[in-house]
Chains A and B, each alone.
Chain A
Amino acid sequence: MAERIVWEGELVARRGLYARGAALLAGGMGFIALLLALPSLALVALAFATRGTYGDVVWSFSLDQMKRLAGYGILGWSPDLLWILARSVAVAGVTTALCILLAFPLAFFVASRPPSRRYLWLALVVVPMLTNLVIRTYGWFPILGTHSPLTALARGAGLLNADESLYPGALAVYLGMVSGSLPFAVLPLYAAAERLDGSLVDAARDLYGGRWLVFRHAILPQVRVGLAVATILTFVPALGAFVIPDLLGGARYMLMGNLIQQQFFAARNWPFGAAVSLALLGCSLCGLFLYWRAQLKDEQGARA
């Protein structure tokens, strides 16, 4: 006889309960497994295949895509691709740093509002986050364009030539990236700030007095987890950014995200697109690992 258990007051066979659970999970997990998890694995395999003459995929194991990633093309070695990878990491890193710097005061500001109005401030952060990224990005065009006051200002200051404007260009990309990623940094930090134990901060103020020391010893340890989540939520998507560099960077500004898009569409070279995807994933994981190690060291330092 099947094993019977009582689950939430119901007398059932364990097998039957599992079958019911599997039925509940099947739909949602089916979508995630079939359309995301499995294809992601296929992407890994694809990175070791080659492109056929007509953009088809030739399934024979090769390291061609990896070599190309490392810069070896038909015309010999060139650093172009490595520059794209390096630039992507740099953009994501700088964006993350700037976002965290700006998000900290904003998160604490929102958390310090009276509870009745806190949700209003929070909504102010969430609305841009949930607004379509294309809209949020192209909104910078008029602000940074040829006839904009900002461009005139930059020209006046001698930062730009008379025929240049802020958009398109690297600066526009950074602005767009920070603007786009900021809410992802604010929300986790807000969650941490809301739970902050004020008495510890007060105690630290009595003990140290100095603003930096209070921050270092009373605030930082309490928001460490929020900071970690904020960093990850900013860095990983920033690394794969496609819309922002595509719209604000100009025709020749290329990051990994654009490269992947290009390979899957214009170039129809899926294996290489998959290889760049893999590189993107690798960089994300590296970033996470470095962050995790830095944090670990920091914790050890704090304990010592």
Chain B
Amino acid sequence: MSEAHDPSGSSKAGALEIRDVRKSFGAVEVLRGVSLDAARGEFITLLGPSGCGKTTLLRIVAGLELADEGRVVLGGQDLGRLPAHRRPVNTVFQSYALFPHLRVRDNVAFGLRARRVPEAEVRTKVGDALALLQLQPLAERLPHQLSGGQRQRVALARALVNEPLLLLLDEPMSALDAKLRAELRLELRRLQRRLQRTFVLVTHDQDEAMTVSDRILLMRDGRIEQDGTPEEVYERPRTRFVAEFLGAANLFEARREDDAIVTPLGKLSAEGPAGWTAGLACIRPERIEVSLEAPASPGPNVFEARIAERVYRGDHVELLLEPGAVRVQCAPREGLAPGVRAWLRFPPEHVRLLDG
């Protein structure tokens, strides 16, 4: 595949800018003012539960849906009222939407032929795209003769052959089984690195989002709840929704009293947003340091408790602690059994204070 198609020649080509996009279907407000930016060559992921508006946002960018309000700008060009077939954007559909009557080769060539690219050029470009995704042996097959993973690669090739400024991927893994999904994630990531194109992925799968993205935008009820690198959104969730949607989280009711944070476990010290007075304290299970012996020097954020119940959950254990009947999830460890006394340390740098 040749170098990035860059008609404007500026470094802005491929940079996506979405400003305050709103969309309702009848009485249902699907997008309530979404803004985001993606730099050229960046891989961003819209992550959220079904119904959060992420697919609608993607379709608006593709031109398959009209926004009621707001602007979508790609490489300095307002896509606004540009019809889908004039946008330098291509989509990998959730169903792949391969044309059932066309062989793989002709599926991939569809976009080029629709733009009346000379046939010789079509052949070269299709050949390159098939090579890029290792599809040459399947070139003469019909879609129904392909496996799920192969179909996905054809859908990718069919989109990428057009050298779009922006590639949109709508849940491209949801039709595949778990093992294949894990493999294809890495492949997708490598492909994007190699092509240096802007990718926008829509998914409800947090693992997928974490693995492939430069940046994750967590969506909920038509709004972007948090925007940041995978590390940022995982380590420093800003809301309860983000904390719970991405991985497991311990959440305790908390309020500020003088200089300390009061929780059912006891007093905590933690950094919170300015002006925070009450809400939740959050810590990831693997960040809790559990010890079966009293620490030498009782520092801050150490709680002593008796384990009343223990449930093993594979990558973490769930403990019911007395006194206070507090439930805590933490990393599994030898010796955590009912009746045992334990000391739990919440490192202050890993405790986040959230609004309720």
Contact = CB atoms under 8 A, between A and B. Distances in A.
Interface string B73-87: 000000001111100
A5 B66 contact: yes
A9 B66 contact: no
B285 interface: no
A10 B66 contact: no
B65 interface: yes
Nearest to B84: A9
19 contacts: A4-B66, A4-B81, A5-B66, A6-B63, A6-B64, A6-B65, A6-B66, A6-B83, A6-B84, A9-B63, A9-B64, A9-B83, A9-B85, A10-B83, A10-B84, A11-B81, A11-B82, A11-B83, A11-B84
Interface of A: 4-6, 9-11
A219 B66 CA distance: 50
Interface string B53-91: 000000000011110000000000000011111000000
Contacts of A4: 66, 81
> Interface extent on B, as a size class?
under 10
Nearest to B66: A6
A67 B85 CA distance: 67
B51 to A, nearest CB: 20
Interface of B: 63-66, 81-85
Given A5-B66, A9-B63, 16 more contacts: A4-B66, A4-B81, A6-B63, A6-B64, A6-B66, A6-B83, A6-B84, A9-B64, A9-B84, A9-B85, A10-B83, A10-B84, A11-B66, A11-B82, A11-B83, A11-B84
A25 to B, nearest CB: 24
Contacts of B64: 6, 9
A297 B65 CA distance: 48
Nearest to B82: A11
A6 B81 CA distance: 10
Contacts of B82: 11
Contacts of A6: 63-66, 83-84
The 3 A-B pairs with the shortest beta carbon distances in the complex, nearest first, are A11-B83, A9-B84, A6-B66
Contacts of A11: 63, 66, 81-84
Contacts of A10: 83-84
Nearest to B85: A9
Nearest to B81: A11
Contacts of B66: 4-6, 11
Nearest to B86: A11
A84 B82 CA distance: 68
A6 B66 CA distance: 6
Nearest to B91: A9
Contacts of A5: 66
A172 B354 CA distance: 88
A5 B59 CA distance: 13
A83 to B, nearest CB: 59
B125 to A, nearest CB: 23
A9 B63 CA distance: 7
Nearest to B60: A6
B135 to A, nearest CB: 25
Contacts of B81: 4, 11
A10 B63 CA distance: 8
A11 to B, nearest CB: 4
Contacts of A9: 63-64, 83-85
A293 B85 CA distance: 54
B61 to A, nearest CB: 12
A201 B198 CA distance: 57
A11 B82 CA distance: 8
A241 to B, nearest CB: 44
Most interface-central of A4, A5, A9 (chain B CB within 10 A) = A9
Contacts of B83: 6, 9-11
A5 B63 CA distance: 10
A164 B13 CA distance: 95
A115 B84 CA distance: 44
A108 B82 CA distance: 56
A173 B65 CA distance: 61
